[in-house]
């Protein structure tokens, strides 16, 4: 391929984290309320009843102060200190955060280096001086990250179930006669929520921030009013109260209830890409954190003063005024809205997470529907939506009450928090290049806190925490299996690539065929501007017989525009192109070898999306590298590619470039996409005495499971083309 000048290939500035200030920063901080904090903001609905069940004894004053102290300091150490003031600094240069982004930061995918610029050489020199993560840890860390990711998805199911059921359950306070209908009413709300997903969230998102703002303001106001009943609740700010509570009662399991107060803190980091670090720090530190602390202090004060009266439903029974009064119904309505927003946020986050996994080949290629033309990343995944809906409804119907649901809730949260702590400690060393002691200190402190919560929630596995654990293990198994099998297929693809000049030669190559007879191979043809009417031959040496040719066929030029998919940054053309030439001994008038790279960033700017080079040995053919973010739509902009080709032809000064581009524009109106269709076969491995058994299992997994699933979920979504434009070329892959 041709090489452009260093200036032509100088990397353009990549997308950076959002930088705003002044009024724009204030507005952005306000917008975070409707997206990030809906989950953690609805926790006061069920936390205290998660610690003290409605049918249990009324806790004494010192126990209430001790548990409120544990809640206050958990909110301080985890969401505020760990996530807002530490983890947000570990977002990517493009401003993305989250568990999977942390893994990709440690083990980024290989990106083709377009030219050895001074900047890239200096970056390479610096990278050699800094420590790199060992390759032997890649799979263990990947499994660890996938496990945290799978539990985050399981958490999405439980968030909707717990939040909506807890909010709807308040109606039993004002209308005891409908207490038996709480489950059915909750299911009705959830069904409507999931049925509305195909419409997208853009129309509703405008109202999200004001609703959450009013909800948190109501929490803070009622909290302040309730604190006046027992100002002694401020003793909860003394951390020794929390320590003494656990020392005195030895009720370590209470931590699983305290954990419910910090559910949703992972969203502070995962949603970094939608906002920026400063906006999240301002909104949480100045408004959300104080509102939640005041709400819990107020609930604790009421529980101390009116224990037996408020224990049946701590949140709704601590609302000032009559249980059927105006303030009660105002809070009830906003509680329903806030929990629906929390559920919507988790559902949308699950969709985005599934898209990331599909792009990274950790899940089959599912159908993605983009619901917004303006906001990238707003997607709808039908199969994920219906699976979430069924799972949520089944869980609500099975557990029947928010109190029982809280037994299941929290385990996934604790595991994801611990996963993040481990990955952050690795990033401290390998990405920030700080001394090991810094990472060890971070993991020692926050890993200890996460471990305490994780151990407490683990003890609730028999009582319901087995639900997210089971869901997480199932999802992890699926993702790990698909990653392994897809990796074997990609490995076959890399090894099966051939040099273009190894089987296609032009007419008039002179001593080409004599050299071929001597060496059983084809020399590189150094012709910078072959005529478009040049005749090309497809040749292959006769295997095992030196000096003879198996095939020597003329390749006809067809007046079509073909995009060959399946290229990678490895040397050589994909097996699909070789199979294409074998099946149809012809060459398209125009052809593109497309290489797609999914970068560990959310989005890639349009100006940086395509890099084009000319294939000198085959006129009319071009190499196109497409760069996508893991949230970008898998589509091809043919017009942009043609424009880039035009720029290349003009820069390289080819005679007749205008005519070539004119013909290319006409042919590109009807593109044909050639994609590989792998017929996978398991290759036998020598594993000693257990070889027959292991090969049987391996063959069943690869041929019966992966082979069938790859047919059920083809990669058509990733080709950026309509089904009628795609031609599948069969390739037998022994993996």
Residue-wise DSSP of 354-411: HHHHHHTTSS-----EE--SSSTT-EE-HHHHHHHHHHHHHHHHHH-SHHHHHHHTTH
Beta bridge partners of 599: 629
Nearest to 466 by CA among 534, 514, 407: 407
Residue corresponding to tokens 């060959």? 564
In a domain, 355, yes or no: no
Examine residue 91 and state whether it is found in any structural domain, yes or no.
yes
Write down the pLDDT at residue 546: 40
Section 264-280 average pLDDT: 78
pLDDT tens profile 641-674: 888 888 888 787 666 667 777 777 777 778 888 8
Lowest mean pLDDT among 320-324, 437-441, 500-504: 500-504
- Which of the listed residues 457, 483, 509 is the one where a domain comes to its end? 483
Whole-number pLDDT of residue 589: 85
β partners of residue 593 = 564, 623
Q: Domain check: are 576 and 647 in the same one?
A: yes
The span from the CA of 353 to the CA of 289, in Å, is 27
Domain of residue 59 covers 31-113+134-159+206-320+400-483
CB-based contacts of 710: which residues, under 8 Å, 6+ apart? Answer: 364, 678, 680
Give me the number of domains the chain comprises.
2
Residue 604: which H helix or E strand, with range?
Answer: none
Backbone angles phi, psi at 631, to 5 degrees: -115, 5
Q: Are 155 and 412 in contact (CB under 8 A)?
A: yes
Spatial contact of 293 and 44, defined as CB atoms under 8 Å apart: no
Bridge partners (DSSP) listed for residue 539: 552
pLDDT the model gives residue 4: 34
Could you tell me if 167 and 336 are in contact, meaning their C-beta atoms sit under 8 angstroms apart? yes
Based on the domain organization, do 521 and 409 belong to the same domain?
no
Whether 18 is in a domain gets the answer no
- The pLDDT, as a whole number, for residue 216 is 95
pLDDT value for 1: 41
Tell me what pLDDT residue 300 has: 96
Residues 6+ apart with CB under 8 A from 23: none
CA angle 14, 19, 20 (to 5 degrees): 150
φ, ψ at 674 (rounded to 5°): -100, 120
Give 361 or 230, the one with higher predicted confidence: 230
Query: Do 458 and 506 fall within a single domain?
Result: no
543, 688: one domain: yes
Which residues are registered as beta bridge partners of 126? none
Beta strands in 426-516 (DSSP E): 504-506
Tokens of 697: 């299992």
119-131 confidence digits (pLDDT tens)? 444 444 444 556 7
Give the pLDDT score at 102. Answer: 85
509-558 pLDDT tens trace:
544 444 444 444 433 333 333 455 566 666 654 343 344 444 566 777 88
Give the Å distances, CA to CA, from 378 to 200, 267, 631: 7, 16, 9
Question: For 149-173, b where at least 16 C-beta lie within 10 A, e where not — what string?
Answer: bbbbbbbbbbbbbbbbbbbbbbbbb
Please, what is the average pLDDT of the chain? 79
Interhelix angle 61-75/239-249, rounded to 10 degrees, is: 130
Percentage of the chain lying above the pLDDT 70 cut: 80
Q: How far is CA 71 from CA 52, 240, 295, 401, 541, in A?
A: 14, 13, 11, 23, 74
In this prediction, residue 34 carries a pLDDT of: 77
642 in a structural domain: yes
The 10 Å Cβ neighbour count of residue 438 is: 13
Given a cut of 70, is residue 187 above it in pLDDT? yes
Distances (CA, A) of 662 to 528, 592, 611, 646, 668: 21, 16, 20, 9, 10
List CB contacts of 104: < 8 A, sequence separation 6 or more. 360, 600
**Residues contacting residue 129 through CB under 8 Å, at least 6 positions apart:** none
Check whether residue 541 and residue 580 sit in a common domain: yes
pLDDT for residue 580: 84
Q: Which domain-ending residue is among 483, 514, 547?
A: 483
Structure tokens at 461: 């596995």
Candidate ranges 128-137, 370-379, 576-585; pick with highest mean pLDDT: 576-585
Query: 176 in a domain, yes or no?
Result: no
C-alpha 284/C-alpha 262 separation (Å) is 13
Do 634 and 603 form a contact (C-beta atoms < 8 A)?
Answer: no
Do 429 and 537 sit in the same domain of this protein? Answer: no
Residue 338: predicted pLDDT: 87
Q: Using alpha carbons only, give the angle 161, 44, 416 rounded to the nearest 5 degrees.
A: 60
Residue 344, class by beta-carbon neighbours within 10 Å (0-12 exposed, 13-18 middle, 19+ buried)? buried
CB-count exposure of residue 242 (10 Å: 0-12, 13-18, 19+): buried
Kindly tell me if the per-residue pLDDT of 315 is higher than 50: yes
Contact 274, 477 (CB under 8 A): no
d(CA 659, CA 10): 28
For residue 49, is it within any domain? yes
DSSP alpha helix (H) spans, 530-688: 575-583, 638-652, 657-667
Whether residue 19 lies inside any domain: the answer is: no
pLDDT over 50 (residue 477): yes
* 603 and 469 belong to one structural domain: no
Residues 617 and 716 in one domain: yes
Look at 30 and 465; give whichever has higher pLDDT.
30
Of 431, 450, 483, which one is at a domain's C-terminal end? 483
Task: Give backbone dihedrals phi and psi of 731, rounded to 5 degrees, phi first.
Answer: -135, 125
How much is the average pLDDT of 671-692? 83
One domain, residues 475 and 612: no
For residues 559 and 441, state if they share a domain.
no
Same domain, 299 and 155: yes
Q: Which residue has the tokens 């700080």?
A: 434
Sign of the CA dihedral with 272 first, then 274, 279, and 285 last? negative
**What φ, ψ does residue 728 adopt, rounded to 5°?**
-90, 130
Inside any domain, residue 179: no
If asked whether residues 535 and 417 sit together in one domain, one would say no
pLDDT band of 322, cuts 50, 70, 90: confident
Rounded Cα distance, 183 and 400, in Å: 6
Q: How far is CA 224 from CA 49, 219, 221, 241, 324, in A?
A: 20, 9, 5, 21, 21
């Amino acid at each position: 391929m041709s090489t452009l000048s260093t200036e032509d290939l100088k990397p353009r500035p990549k997308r950076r984290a959002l930088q705003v200030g002044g009024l724009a920063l204030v507005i952005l901080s306000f917008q975070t309320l409707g997206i990030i904090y809906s989950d953690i903001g609805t926790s006061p609905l069920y936390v205290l009843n998660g610690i003290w069940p409605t049918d249990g004894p009324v806790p004494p004053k010192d126990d209430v102060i001790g548990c409120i102290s544990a809640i206050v300091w958990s909110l301080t150490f985890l969401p505020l200190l760990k996530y807002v003031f530490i983890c947000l600094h570990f977002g990517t240069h493009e401003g993305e955060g989250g568990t999977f982004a942390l893994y990709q930061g440690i083990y980024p995918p290989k990106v083709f280096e377009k030219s050895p610029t001074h900047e890239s050489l200096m970056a390479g020199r610096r990278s050699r001086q800094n420590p790199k993560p060992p390759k032997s840890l890649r799979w263990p860390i990947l499994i660890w990250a996938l496990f945290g990711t799978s539990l985050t998805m399981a958490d999405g199911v439980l968030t909707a179930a717990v939040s909506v059921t807890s909010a709807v359950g308040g109606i039993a306070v004002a209308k005891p006669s409908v207490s038996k209908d709480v489950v059915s009413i909750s299911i009705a709300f959830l069904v409507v929520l999931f049925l509305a997903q195909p419409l997208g969230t853009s129309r509703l998102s405008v109202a999200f921030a004001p609703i959450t703002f009013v909800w948190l303001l109501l929490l803070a106001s009622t909290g302040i009013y309730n604190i006046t009943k027992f100002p002694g609740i401020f003793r909860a700010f003394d951390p020794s109260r929390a320590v003494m509570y656990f020392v005195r009662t030895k009720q370590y399991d209470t931590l699983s209830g305290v954990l419910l107060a910090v559910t949703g803190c992972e969203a502070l980091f995962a949603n970094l890409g939608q906002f920026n670090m400063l906006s999240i720090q301002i909104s949480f530190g100045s408004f959300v954190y104080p509102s939640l602390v005041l709400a819990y202090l107020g609930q604790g004060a009421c529980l101390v003063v009116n224990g037996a009266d408020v224990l049946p439903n701590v949140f709704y029974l601590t609302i000032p005024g009559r249980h059927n009064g105006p303030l009660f119904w105002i809070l009830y309505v906003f509680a329903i809205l806030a929990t629906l927003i929390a559920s919507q946020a988790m559902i949308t986050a699950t969709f985005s997470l599934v898209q990331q996994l599909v792009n990274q080949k950790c899940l089959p290629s599912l159908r993605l529907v983009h619901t917004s033309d303006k906001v990238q990343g707003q997607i709808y995944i039908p199969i994920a939506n219906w699976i979430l809906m069924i799972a949520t409804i089944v869980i609500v119907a099975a557990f029947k009450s928010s109190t029982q649901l809280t037994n299941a809730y929290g385990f996934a949260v604790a595991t994801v928090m611990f996963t993040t702590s481990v990955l952050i400690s690795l990033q401290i060393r390998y990405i920030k290049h700080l001394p090991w002691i810094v990472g060890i200190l971070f993991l020692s402190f926050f890993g200890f806190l996460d471990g305490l919560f994780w151990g407490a929630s683990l003890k609730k596995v028999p009582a319901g925490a087995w639900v997210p654990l089971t869901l997480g293990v199932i999802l992890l198994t699926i993702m790990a299996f698909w990653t392994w099998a897809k990796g074997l297929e990609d490995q076959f693809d890399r090894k099966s690539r051939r040099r273009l000049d190894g089987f296609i030669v032009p007419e008039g190559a002179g001593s080409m065929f004599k050299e071929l007879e001597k060496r059983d191979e084809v020399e590189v043809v150094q012709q910078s501007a072959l005529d478009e009417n040049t005749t090309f031959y497809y040749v292959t040496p006769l295997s095992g017989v030196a000096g003879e040719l198996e095939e020597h066929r003329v390749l006809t030029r067809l007046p079509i525009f073909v995009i060959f998919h399946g290229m990678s940054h490895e040397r050589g053309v994909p097996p699909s192109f070789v199979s294409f030439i074998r099946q149809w001994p012809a060459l398209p008038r125009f052809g593109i070898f497309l290489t797609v790279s999914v970068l560990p960033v959310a989005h890639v700017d349009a100006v940086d999306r395509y890099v084009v080079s000319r294939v000198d040995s085959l006129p009319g053919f071009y190499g196109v590298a497409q760069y996508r973010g893991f949230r970008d739509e898998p589509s091809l902009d043919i017009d942009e590619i043609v424009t880039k080709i035009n720029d290349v032809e003009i820069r390289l000064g080819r005679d007749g470039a205008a005519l070539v581009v004119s013909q290319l524009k006409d042919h590109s109106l009807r593109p044909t996409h050639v994609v590989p269709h792998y017929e996978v076969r398991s290759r036998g491995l020598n594993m000693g005495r257990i070889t027959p058994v292991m090969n049987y299992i391996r063959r069943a997994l690869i041929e019966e499971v992966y082979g069938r699933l790859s047919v059920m979920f083809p990669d058509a979504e990733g080709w950026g083309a309509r089904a009628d434009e795609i031609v599948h070329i069969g390739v037998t892959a022994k993996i």
